[in-house]
Structure 1
Amino acid sequence: MPAAPAPSLPRPVWVLGAVAFVVALGFGVVVPAIVLFADSFGVGATAVGLAVSAFAFFRFVTGPLGGRLVTRFGERPVLVVGVLVVAVTTGAAGFAPSFAVFIALRAVGGVGSAAFTIAAVTLLLRVAPEHARARATATFQGGFLLGGMVGPAFGGLLTDVAVWLPFLVYAASLVVAALVAQLGLPSPPPAEPVAREAVPLPERLRATRRLLGHPVLAVALVANLGVGWMLFGVRNSLVTLYVVDIGGTATVAGVVLLLGAVAQGLTLRFAGGLADTRGRRPALLLGSWVAAGFVGLLAVPATGVPGLVVAAVAMAGFGVGAAFLASAPGALVADVGRTGGRVAALQMASDLGAVVGPLAAGALVDVSGYPLAFAVSACVVAVAGVAALRMPETAPSVPVRRTDDA
């Protein structure tokens, strides 16, 4: 049966993509500076990983709060306030007098980032047409990637000028993003009364077990955990240090990250279309195994120019696989019934990976070196492909009925 014509995406999807672009532009600028600024305090690779993980950890632990705030106040106010919190804390972090203050500011920024992300994804999945959920997700992720294409290269250049300069540029870009969201997104509907009835702990535990045992949601969570581990964690904490340690500079590290972003950005539209027309399962299988294979290249010991070439190829190949992993999990959650709790759980899985990944990989570097750290990271990314082998298909365009909701 021929696939239905692809519906046009509503205006809020494009606005969210524009907001994501501005946010990612600034984040890409600051990525090389975060690890090098933390390293300037004379700490080890594990502590440098903490500079990335602190942000992700507080995103993780405040995820449920973000879901409740969206329910109470609506997506736009929570999104705007969250972005402004990150702007203030990031600007201040560039002038932190100690490593402890730097970590504290990163942690508070993580709270605002959780609110922004959950509000944005909740709105995205609510307004996206049923037959274009992966395409809408890819458009949103594409905004991040387009910003990420420009940001890292500028970040390396700015870091070479002054390590604090990227933090101010990021803060300014976030203020712009908040303005775009305030002017371009719809006003929230009137708030509905929020029930204050406390949910007993046993019932919360049973709900968590049902979520983790769901044959589709569990795969989405595993995939997002791998994305968080490598894309938002190890990529941001170790790749820059790795490139510098094998003979590159901050500018070269920015170019390596740029290549990964370009590859992911060029693949996103195709990845979203494949996930909508051919199914979520093929997208997850292809994405996880391609991404894992190229991350595994970084486990091959090499230095100097050969090592830098391998790093560039590995990040570009990882970007291709990551495009599929960025499109499918959100669509899976919408396929089986979007709720605020499930969107928060999806984001928390990514944040958990971004918390554990830099710390675990950093510890492995301190103990054994980079090859083992990257090999373990490749295995984590590959798990989603293994889990997807037994997953029922849920895409509305594929003639296999979705699994019953749990």
Structure 2
Amino acid sequence: MSRPEPRDPADADVPATPDDPRTDPHLSESPSAAREKVPQPIKVLIAAAFVIALGYGIVAPVLPQFASSFGVGVAAASAVISAFALCRLVFAPASGAVVNRLGERPTYLIGLIVVALSSAATAFAQSYWQLLLFRGLGGIGSTMFTVSAMGLIVRLSPRTMRGRVSGYYATAFLLGGILGPVLGGALAGLGMHAPFLIYAGALFVAVLVVWVRLKDETLGSKGAGAAQPAMRVREALDVGAYRAALASSFSTGWTAMGVRVALVPLLATQIVGDGPAVAGLALALFAVGNASALTVTGRLTDRMGRKPLVLTGLVLCGLATIGVGLSTTVIAFSVLSLLAGVGSGTLNPGQQAAVADVIGPDRAGGKVLSRYQMCADAGQIAGPVLAGALADSAGFGWAFGVSGSLMLLAALAWLPVRETLPEGARGETTKG
């Protein structure tokens, strides 16, 4: 019986990865084993993701005001946010090498500690330049725990539930990001320094939980990591699904992460006309749509395959984004923002599961995962700048039109890709 081929026909000469459906233990288990619940270590990572996102959400509303308190202008205050993302992008290749050398779990813990110390130092910054430096250092720690967390999920998730696990993990981050600003607003009376200290405390709690609950986890240890052959980036690039995932990761970073946050509030004020209230509503509806989709599409990705959900999400998010730029009423603006969120939530689990399929559980994929994350960071940095310049010169319609078109181009990149979920794994039901 021939195995399903997860690579492009043109890539038939590329050696198969160890994540082979013929040897994957999760595909040879009994049906009852295949229906097992999410592994306990994954639940720990999901809980830690919620705590991390909650803490970040607490400081996000305060950070620009804190920067402005040093007497700098809007551009300089915004640069503090960009410094975090820029350091993530620049350090991403090195973080992949660190993961391959130390293992996922140690890198994850070190990354969290770096961000915690950075946040605590930020609270005591005495000048704008100190603030800029401390936030930038936090970006280094952020990419370390992000890439290593993805590596742990690849290593610990059964292949038949990778989509579901990716959905749960993304939902935890999303919910923390939604609740964080609400909690941050309630803590506003404590002053601008308190949120950063609270964030640092939350991160140390996450460190303690992961250290204790994953203490016996050997898959992410240095010894286990040394026994795992590292997948080279060039090897991953030979697989069509990985190349397509890089394209969709960049377009998602540009549109769903960057342009949405930077330009939607401006569009609400200048075009729709109801200012901050409508902008907040649009951002909230995007989050609602995203969360609603994630609760369903993770499971569908493990049943139907990665590609159909990724394509559906890219097309829906792309068309809705184009429509947002053409909106002239609050109703249209709100509905299209909701649909864009649904599209984003539909594509993410499949996209991440496809990357995990390419790497497999028996390879060290730090560098491969770091390049994938770099594409999202690059899009998140470039999108607001370039789309903002386009909005100034040609209008919001063009800015959102180009941004949505990037999602549609990414969908074209996925069309020739062969499905990475093997035929034998499709249609299997899982219990939460």
TM-score (norm 2): 0.76
Give the direction of change, closer, same or farther, for the CA distance of 1:212–1:322 in structure 2 (3 Å limit). same
1:42 is matched with which residue? 73
Deviation at 1:67, TM superposition (A): 2.2
- Answering whether residue 280 of structure 2 is matched by residue 258 of structure 1, we say no
Contact 1:7-1:132 at 8 Å conserved across structures: no
Is 1:121 the equivalent of 2:127? no
Taking the aligned partners of 1:164 and 1:364, their CA distance within structure 2 comes to 36
Q: Is the 8 A contact 2:163 2:299 kept in 1?
A: yes
Aligned-pair CA distance for 1:268: 0.9
Q: Which ranges of structure 1 fall in alignment gaps of 5 or more residues?
A: 196-203, 401-406
Find the aligned partners of 1:128 and 1:194 in 2 and give their Cα distance: 16
Q: SS of the residue aligned with 2:359?
A: coil
Q: Deviations over 1:8-51 (max 9, x none)?
A: 2111111111111111122233344445656773234xx66644
Superposed CA offset, 1:224-272 (max 9, x none): 11222233323343444555665434x7655543332222122113111
Aligned to 1:215: 240
Out of 87, 96, 110, which is 1:81 matched to?
A: 110
The 3-state SS of whatever aligns with 1:84 is: helix
Paired residues in the alignment total 381
Provide the alpha-carbon RMSD of the alignment. 3.3
| Higher mean displacement: 81-90 or 235-244 | 235-244
In structure 2, what is the Cα distance between the partners aligned to 1:99 and 1:298? 36
Aligned 8 A contact 1:224 1:325 in 2: no
Deviation at 1:60, TM superposition (A): 1.9
Q: State the one-letter code of the partner of 2:246.
A: L
- Indicate if the aligned counterparts of 2:239 and 2:358 stay in contact, CA closer than 8 A: no
The Cα of 1:208 is off from its aligned counterpart by 5.1
Change (3 A) 1:154 1:314: farther
- Which residue of 144, 166, 173 corresponds with 1:137? 166
Deviations 1:345-390 (A, max 9, x none): 2222222222222322333344445443322221222222111111
Alpha-carbon offset, residue 175 of structure 1: 2.9
User: Could you tell which deviates more after superposition, 355-364 or 325-334?
Assistant: 355-364
Q: 1:359 aligns with which of 385, 393, 400?
A: 385
Question: Secondary structure of the equivalent of 1:8?
Answer: coil
Q: 297, 321, 326: which is aligned to 1:300?
A: 326
Deviation at 1:79, TM superposition (A): 1.5
- Provide the residue aligned with 1:248 in structure 2: 275
Correspondences of 1:305-316 after superposition (within 5 Å):
306-307=329-330, 309-316=331-338
Identity rate, percent? 36
Superposed displacement of residue 162, structure 1 = 6.0
TM-score scaled by length of structure 1: 0.81
The amino acid that maps onto 2:295 is R
Q: Distance in 2 between matches of 1:378 and 1:147?
A: 26
Q: In structure 2, what is the Cα distance between the partners aligned to 1:237 and 1:374?
A: 11
Asked which structure has the greater CA Rg, the reply is 2
| Partner amino acid, structure 2, of 1:234 | V
Structure 1 residue aligned with 2:15: none
Q: Structure 1 residues 289, 359: closer, same or farther in 2, change over 3 A?
A: same
SS of 2:240's equivalent? Answer: coil
**Structure 1 counterpart of 2:44, from 15, 25, 29:** 15
Amino acid at match of 1:364: L
Aligned counterparts of 1:33 and 1:242: Cα–Cα separation in 2: 23
1: distance between equivalents of 2:359 and 2:255?
27
How do 1:125-274 and structure 2 match up within 5 A?
A: 125-155=154-184, 166-187=195-216, 189=218, 191-192=222-223, 211-240=236-265, 242-243=267-268, 246-249=273-276, 253-274=279-300
CA–CA distance in structure 2, aligned partners of residues 222 and 172 of structure 1 = 36
Paired residues for 1:359-398 under 5 Å: 359-397=385-423
Select 2:119's aligned residue among 90, 95, 98: 90
